[in-house]
Structures are given as structure tokens and as C-alpha cells.
Amino acid sequence: MAVEHLALRVIHGINVAAAGFFGLSALFAPKFAATQLFSGSIAPSHSLSVTGALWTSISLGSACGLYNPLPFASILLIQLLYKGLFVVFHTLPWLAGGRKTSFPAIMSAVFMFWIVVNPFIIPWGYLFAI
């Protein structure tokens, strides 16, 4: 097995566990998700259900990626994009403003970690047939 396939499988495995936990929490325990995962910065809502559905979908797709990692590498690209957008349009303005309101700090830190790691794991040549 190639090293890059192993790295993809590890990342997919982390997605299965983390996105699965967060997604199912948002879908089936929205009060817990709102207070714990989002640090009390949101209330249970339809938006939280959509977020839960997205994260659960990422988890299920990544479960397929455990067995065949390359075709499911696009999941990592989607994560890079949506997490990057969240950081640029939500986290950075919040940090720059020095706001004291509640904020999903742990989620933002995890997102920033993924933004740094994913570009090194994503098989760009495969995804764009270079």
C-alpha cells in the first residue's frame, strides 16, 4: 500500500469518527451539540440539522474511503473549502474584532488544523487528472 493511500485512509478514519460523532450529535442531540460542540454560540435550529446532515454525510463517504481512498478524496476537498470559508468569513473577523461573545473556539481550532493538513493529504493530481 502506498504511503499516500495510508494517509488518506487515516484521514478518512478520523472523519468517520469525528464527523460521525459531531453529525449524529447535531441530528439526534441538538441541545448537546449547540451547547458543547458550538460552545453555546448557537441555539438548536434547522441550520444545525443541515450541518449535522453534512457532517454525517462526510462520515459515511469517508467510511467508503477507508476501503477505496482515492475516489473519495474529493470529500477532503469539500472539507477544505467549507472549513476555509468558515474560518475566513467567521473565525478571522471574530478574532480581529476582539469580540467577547460566545464563539465555537474548539471547532474553529479544529477547522484551522484541517485547513493546514488537508492540502498535504489531498491527491491533487488524481482529483484534477494532472
Distance of alpha carbon 33 from alpha carbon 75, whole angstroms: 23
Give residue 37's pLDDT band: very low, low, confident or very high (50, 70, 90).
confident
pLDDT for position 9: 95
**54 pLDDT above the threshold of 90:** yes
Q: Note the pLDDT of residue 96.
A: 84
- Residue 21: per-residue pLDDT: 95
Domain of 106 in residue numbering reads as: 3-127
The overall average pLDDT reported for the chain is 89
Give the pLDDT score at 10.
95
| pLDDT above 60 (res 1) | no
Separation of alpha carbons 104 and 41, rounded Å: 6
The predicted model gives 31-39 an average pLDDT of 85
- Name the DSSP class of 69: T
CA angle 114, 120, 125 (to 5 degrees): 125
Furthest-apart CA atoms within the chain: distance in Å? 48
Domain tally for the chain? 1
> What was the pLDDT predicted at 2?
76
